[in-house]
Structure 1
Amino acid sequence: MRGFARSVTSYAMPLAALAMAVAVRASGLSVDEGSLSVRIFVGALSSAIMFTTIFVVLDHAEAVAHRVGEPYGTLVLTFAVTAIEVSIIVSMMLHGDNNPTLARESVFSTVMITSTGVVGMCLTLGGWRHRKQAIVRQGTSAYLAVLVALTVMTLILPTYTRTTDPGTFSAAQLGFVSVLSVLLYASFVFAQTVRHRDDFIEGLAHEASVRTAPHAGISASALLLVIGLIGIVMLAEQVAASVEDALVAYQVTQADSIVGAMIAGLVLLPEAISAIRASLNNELQRGLNVAMGSACATIGLTIPAVAAASLVTGRGLTLGLPEADAVLLILALFICNVSFSNERTTFLTGMVHIVVFFTFVFLIFIP
Structure 2
Amino acid sequence: MTARPLPIHTYLIPIGSLVLAVGIRLVGFPMGHEYPVLSIVVSLLAICILLTTVFIVLQHAEVLAIRLGQPYGTLLLTFAVTTVEVSIIVSMMLHGENNPTLARESVFSTVMIVCAGVVGLCLTLGGLHHHQQELKRQGTSAILSVLTALTILTLVLPNFTLAAAPGTFSPVQLVFVSFCSILLYGSFVFAQTVRHRDDFLDDGRPGGDHASHGISGEANWGNAALLLIGLIGIVLLAEQVATGVEDGLAALQFQQTDAVVGAFIATLVLLPEALSAIRAALINELQRSLNIALGSALATIGLTIPAVGMASVLTGRELTLGLTPGDSVLLALILSISIHSFGTGRTTVLTGLVHLVVFIAFLLLIAFP
TM range (shorter): over 0.9
Preserved CA contact (<8 Å) 1:136 1:200: yes
Of 325, 328, 333, 2:327 maps to 325
Partner of 1:246: 248
Deviations 1:113-147 (A, max 9, x none): 11111111111111111111111111100000000
User: For 1:302 and 1:76, how far apart are their aligned partners in 2?
Assistant: 16
Kindly report the root-mean-square deviation, in angstroms, between the aligned alpha carbons of the 2 structures.
Answer: 2.2
User: For 2:166 and 2:221, how far apart are their aligned partners in 1?
Assistant: 49
C-alpha change, 1:337 and 1:358, in structure 2 (3 Å) is same
Within 5 A, what are the aligned runs for 1:119-158?
119-158=119-158
User: For 1:143 and 1:191, how far apart are their aligned partners in 2?
Assistant: 10
Q: Which deviates more from structure 2 when the two are superposed, residues 215-224 or residues 140-149?
A: 215-224
**TM-score, normalized by length of structure 2?**
0.93
Within 5 A, what are the aligned runs for 1:30-41?
31-32=31-32
1:210 partner SS: coil
**TM-score, normalized by length of structure 1?**
0.93
Partner of 1:266: 268
Preserved CA contact (<8 Å) 1:31 1:241: no
Alpha-carbon offset, residue 34 of structure 1 = 11
1:251 partner SS: coil
Deviations 1:225-259 (A, max 9, x none): 22112111111111110001111222222111111
Partner of 1:89: 89
Structure 2 unaligned residues grouped into runs of 5+ = none
Partner of 1:214: 214
Partner of 1:356: 358
User: For 2:266 and 2:135, how far apart are their aligned partners in 1?
Assistant: 26
Q: Which deviates more from structure 2 when the two are superposed, residues 204-213 or residues 180-189?
A: 204-213
Partner of 1:104: 104
Question: What amino acid is aligned across from residue 132 of structure 1 in structure 2?
Answer: Q
Deviations 1:25-49 (A, max 9, x none): 2334465599989867754542222
Deviations 1:162-221 (A, max 9, x none): 111211111111111111111111111111111111111112336475135333223222
Question: What amino acid is aligned across from residue 242 of structure 1 in structure 2?
Answer: G
Preserved CA contact (<8 Å) 2:13 2:53: yes
Partner of 1:175: 175
Partner of 1:255: 257
C-alpha change, 1:31 and 1:185, in structure 2 (3 Å) is farther
Structure 1 unaligned residues grouped into runs of 5+ = none
Q: Which deviates more from structure 2 when the two are superposed, residues 194-203 or residues 211-220?
A: 211-220
1:149 partner SS: helix
- Between the two proteins, the alignment pairs up a number of residues equal to 364
User: For 1:253 and 1:81, how far apart are their aligned partners in 2?
Assistant: 28
Question: What amino acid is aligned across from residue 159 of structure 2 in structure 1?
Answer: T
1:165 partner SS: coil
Q: Which deviates more from structure 2 when the two are superposed, residues 14-23 or residues 174-183?
A: 14-23
